[in-house]
Every structure is written in structure tokens, then in C-alpha cells.
Amino acid sequence: MKFLLCAIFALISFASPLPAGETLSVISSVCAVYETADFSSPALDSDGKEILFHHGDKLTFIAEEGDFFQIESGEVKGYVFKFYLTSNKNGQDVYPVFNGSVIASESNIFNIDGTESGHKAKLGQEVFIYGGFDGKKEMTEIAIVLEDGSLFYGLISTKDIKANGISGALITSITIIIALVTIILAVVFIKKSKTKKEKKQTST
């Protein structure tokens, strides 16, 4: 279920399996390269400086592994989060369908690991909520188009955005209603069980 909406987006960007040697373009503002297909694995570096690719850079596809593509560029060979890349031949970035917007006058955008990215979202700016929306969570995973036209995947304060057609109050109300219904059903079940037990004892 992880990145379900992103998976749908990926089906558009990569409709068929990519052949080895395919040229990919970076559509995120910046992306790191990892030793293995996992965000928890060490990022590649050169002379102590992290190796980063930037919007528009061209990489060569080697293989796919989960949510990562193994790529190479010059002497660099490693794994990049595949949703940061596109094989689109017409030179245009492929953006997801936006399903939310910013409701704060300005909001800081953080990297996936929670560190500051230096980017900000402005009131009314559209976002792609790809990890699901939960009004009780402090941060929400989003994709957002930056001023340079690149697609950035990161985190934003949940209170600073709204999901299209869904308000935070509505989500809270639904949660409370579900909790109350659960309690009521539990009480009813206990009462029925108690009544059946009493009838059984009486009959014996």
C-alpha cells in the first residue's frame, strides 16, 4: 500500500518495463544516490561530499528494484528513488494529479527524512498528497512543483494543507463517530452475551 498513488503515477510515467540503457531525466529538484534500494542505506559520496543529481540531469537506467531504479552516470552507480525520474521523451516533466492545496500563508517544506529543505509553499499552491491524509498526523507526505519547475517530494505540516473535498473537521468527526459506534456495538454485544448466559442458567 505504500505510495499507492505514486504507483498509479508511475504507471503513467513508465507504462512498460524500461530496457537497460534507457536514458532517464531527473524531475525532482535534487536527489541522492544510495548504495542499495533503501532510504536507510548510506548515500554515495565523493571525497566526503554527498553525490546529488539535480533537475534535468540525465541518468542511465540499469534495473528496477522496488521503489528504486539502479542507475549510472559516469563513474557513479547506485540507486535513486524512481519517482524522481522520468523516461518522457518530449522533454516535459510528468506531474501527478494534484489532490490538495496549501491553506497557510506560507509553509516550510521538509525533506523526506524531516530535515529542512529550504523550500516554502505558498497559500493556494497545489500539492499531491501521495501517502494518504490523516488530520491527526503532524506531517504529511506531498509532492509539489517548485518555482524552477522541478517536482519535489517532501513533508509539510498537516495543518497547513487541505485535501480536496475533505476538511480536517470532517475527518475528526468521522473518527469520533466510528469510535462511538464501536463502543455502542461493544456494549450491545456484552449485554446480549450476559442475557444469553442468564437465560441458560435459568433453563438449567
Domain extent listing, the chain: 4-86, 100-163, 167-204
pLDDT for 171 equals: 43
pLDDT for 54 equals: 87
Query: In this structure, what DSSP letter does residue 171 have?
Result: H
Mean pLDDT by 10 residues, the chain (204 residues): 42 62 86 89 87 90 93 94 78 67 95 89 90 87 84 91 66 51 61 61 60
Name every residue whose Cβ is closer than 8 Å to that of residue 92 and which is 6 or more positions away in sequence: none
Length of the chain counted residue by residue: 204
Q: In this structure, which amino acid lies at residue 34?
A: Y
Which CATH architecture group holds 4-86? Roll (2.30)
SS3 193: helix
Residue 150 to residues 57, 92, 119, 153, 176: CA-CA distances in angstroms? 11, 10, 12, 10, 39
pLDDT for 1 equals: 36
**Of 3, 21, 1, nearest in space to 153 by CA:** 3
Asked if 70 and 79 touch (Cβ cutoff 8 Å), the reply is yes
SS3 132: coil
pLDDT for 28 equals: 78
